[in-house]
Amino acid sequence: MEPNWQLARKQATIIKRARILEKIRAFFVEQGFTEVETPHRIPANAPELHIDPVASDGWFLQTSPELCMKRLLAAGYDKLFQICRCWRAGERGPHHLPEYTMLEWYRRDCDYYQLMEDCEQLILGLVNNKSWAWKGEKIDLNIPWPRLSVADAFSQHSSTLLSEVTDVNFFSELISTKIEPALPKNKPVFLVDFPVLQGSLARTKPHNPNQVERFELYIAGLELANGFSELTDPVEQRKRFEEEEMQRKAAGKPAGPFPDKYIKELQTLTKAAGIALGVDRLTMLLCGCETIDDVVCFTPEQL
């Protein structure tokens, strides 16, 4: 029998992927970050309307390591990073796997502006060049990368103004169909300052209680990272989680247990910021691969 060529053909990319992981670790270690490992299987994830966790023997597989990592911050740790697996039920497409690799990093006494600079430095270091190409499109990496507010993006690319959007599903529909396709492909862009309904763990803007200090990094139209200044008010956090749970119930989705320890310990956290970046998608960009299938050893269909 001939070796499985659909596995064999990915070998060069898998070798590059291993180098990328090494370089990501080196970048954070160099800057004084500590790599941590928190459990993949947890009693409760942060409730989110559109993220469905996978049940595991009475608990759940993590949809993100954020709750455990922020509990460490609240306990006094600083500058943490983790590279780990996350699971999200039913997500499968050219840019989605139900099990995928996430990079998250957290800083105390910082806000989301620092995280945007971290993204610029991390990715510039990985590319080792001021420009590169993906899907035939040249990408200009000169910093600072443009920052576009969600409100401005809506006035530029949608016939609906952000102020007119009250429904969360309508908001995400416009993001998918109007905003994302209109974002520049030839340079990275930070989409910043989301409505409060779209950032249940993020801190509100100092002068605008309807918006949160949250950003999404897009490169070549690919959504790569989501970062924010962390909400540290336990009362407000409980309220936001309850709102998400209510929306889940209204959508006919099962309610999960509440992450009570997280909410309780949040009161010992002051200022902090954290971010999640999709390692598989970053690898797609860096290796010139067009689908996420090409950058992992096995897709679910290959198991």
Under the rule (CB under 8 A), what is the footprint of another protein?
A: 1-3, 5-6, 8-12, 48-51, 90-96, 168-169, 171-173, 175-177, 180, 198-199, 216, 223, 226, 251-252
**Beta carbon of residue 54, minimum distance to another protein (angstroms, whole number):** 13
CB-nearer residue toward another protein: 176 or 210: 176
**Beta carbon of residue 251, minimum distance to another protein (angstroms, whole number):** 7
Buried b (16+ CB within 10 A) or exposed e, 15-49: ebbeebeeebeebbeeeebeebebebebebbbbbb
CB-nearer residue toward another protein: 241 or 265: 241
Q: Pick from 96, 84, 29: which is nearest to 300 by CA?
A: 96
CB-nearer residue toward another protein: 174 or 265: 174
d(CA 80, CA 122): 15
CB-nearer residue toward another protein: 56 or 176: 176
**Beta carbon of residue 113, minimum distance to another protein (angstroms, whole number):** 20
Instruction: Give me the phi and psi of 209, to 5 degrees please.
Output: -70, -10
Distances from the Cα of 211 to the Cαs of 20, 198, 225, in angstroms? Answer: 35, 9, 19
Q: Pick from 84, 5, 98, 15: which is nearest to 287 by CA?
A: 15
**Tokens found for residue 182:** 């209109």
d(CA 48, CA 110): 25
**Beta carbon of residue 51, minimum distance to another protein (angstroms, whole number):** 8
d(CA 198, CA 278): 19
**Beta carbon of residue 218, minimum distance to another protein (angstroms, whole number):** 10
CB-nearer residue toward another protein: 6 or 270: 6
**Beta carbon of residue 268, minimum distance to another protein (angstroms, whole number):** 27
**Beta carbon of residue 199, minimum distance to another protein (angstroms, whole number):** 7
Tokens 């996978």 map to which residue? 54
**Beta carbon of residue 97, minimum distance to another protein (angstroms, whole number):** 11
Distances from the Cα of 259 to the Cαs of 65, 113, 136, 199, 265, in angstroms? Answer: 13, 28, 45, 17, 10
The CA-CA-CA angle for residues 120, 81, 198, to 5°, reads 70
Tokens 């040249």 map to which residue? 138
CB-nearer residue toward another protein: 48 or 120: 48
d(CA 239, CA 197): 12
CB-nearer residue toward another protein: 90 or 254: 90
CB-nearer residue toward another protein: 29 or 251: 251
d(CA 5, CA 162): 49
